[in-house]
Amino acid sequence: MGRTVAKESDPMSLRGIRGATCLTADDAAEMSEAVGELLTAMMQRNSITSDDVISVLLTGTPDLTCAFPAAGARAIGLVDVPLLCAAEMDVAGALTRVVRVLMHVEVDGPRSAIVHVYLRGAEVLRQDLVQ
């Protein structure tokens, strides 16, 4: 069977949505809750469903060792979406207890229409993107 190739008339585009959230402690329950809240907000604010999500990259700062951030994604139903966790760079003076997300999605519309989401104190990371 041959591969389906998108045509120029297809309005769907691959886009990246950024997000981040901060935790108050290195706690697995808080991480799951915070990541679930973040991913849900990212999907709601961009009017997408899990069917639109191609993959998600999640990073945690080195001070987060309690659990994998992907557990929070699975808890909200992203069970068939490829997820990858990684450690964030350990940069002196950087904000602590942060989970960052890069969600790859198929959406209609221009890149400028993407809404990036920063919660729980992570807004300071990208004030230029916070709505």
Task: Output the pTM of the full model.
Answer: 0.86
Annotated catalytic, 18?
Answer: yes
The count of other CB atoms within 10 Å of the CB of residue 86 is 11
Annotated catalytic, 111?
Answer: no
Annotated catalytic, 74?
Answer: yes
> Which residue among 18, 33, 37, 120 is the active-site one?
18
The count of other CB atoms within 10 Å of the CB of residue 77 is 13
Q: How far apart are CA 130 and CA 124, in angstroms?
A: 9
pLDDT at 119: 95
Phi and psi torsions of 16, nearest 5°: -110, 135
Q: Which CATH architecture has domain 14-124?
A: 2-Layer Sandwich (3.30)
Please compute the mean of the pLDDT values over residues 36-52 and round it to a whole number.
96
Please compute the mean of the pLDDT values over residues 1-29 and round it to a whole number.
79
Q: How far apart are CA 90 and CA 15, in angstroms?
A: 27
Confidence of residue 125 (pLDDT cuts 50, 70, 90): confident
Annotated catalytic, 120?
Answer: no
Please compute the mean of the pLDDT values over residues 99-114 and round it to a whole number.
94
Domain ranges of the chain: 14-124
- The yes-or-no verdict on residue 45 having pLDDT over 60 is yes
Specify whether the CB–CB gap between 47 and 108 falls below 8 A. Answer: no
